[in-house]
Amino acid sequence: MKVYGIKNCDTVKKALKFLDEKSVDYEFIDFKKTPPTKTLIKKWAKELGDLPVNKRGTTFRKFKEDYESGSKEEKINLLVENSSAIKRPIVESSEVMMGFDKELWSSKF
């Protein structure tokens, strides 16, 4: 299983703590050290049904107008360049999940 996010994000911290407590093996990929690629974001969008953008975050607000008026390719480029605007964590296991929901995760792991 792969978990993508930012190490100092509170939601990611909760998710990693949850996985550690359940003794779930995972590989953590930090967006700050290994930014997501266009291919990866496209894969997540296909699996999730939409781009994995956190529209409530402060990073998103900085380029909201550009994002909303952009083509899909431009939106993906903005997310690659501003990985802090991606909803975290992104989990790849038998399926792709976005965000941390303790109840949902309890049923999966």
Q: Is 9 a catalytic residue?
A: yes
**Integer Cα distance of 28 and 89 in angstroms:** 10
Range list of β-strands (E), 1-70 = 2-5, 27-30
- Show the CA angle centred on residue 81, arms to residues 89 and 41, nearest 5°: 50
User: Catalytic one among 3, 9, 16, 45?
Assistant: 9
CA torsion angle 55 76 19 8 (round to 10): -70
* Residues known to be catalytic: 9
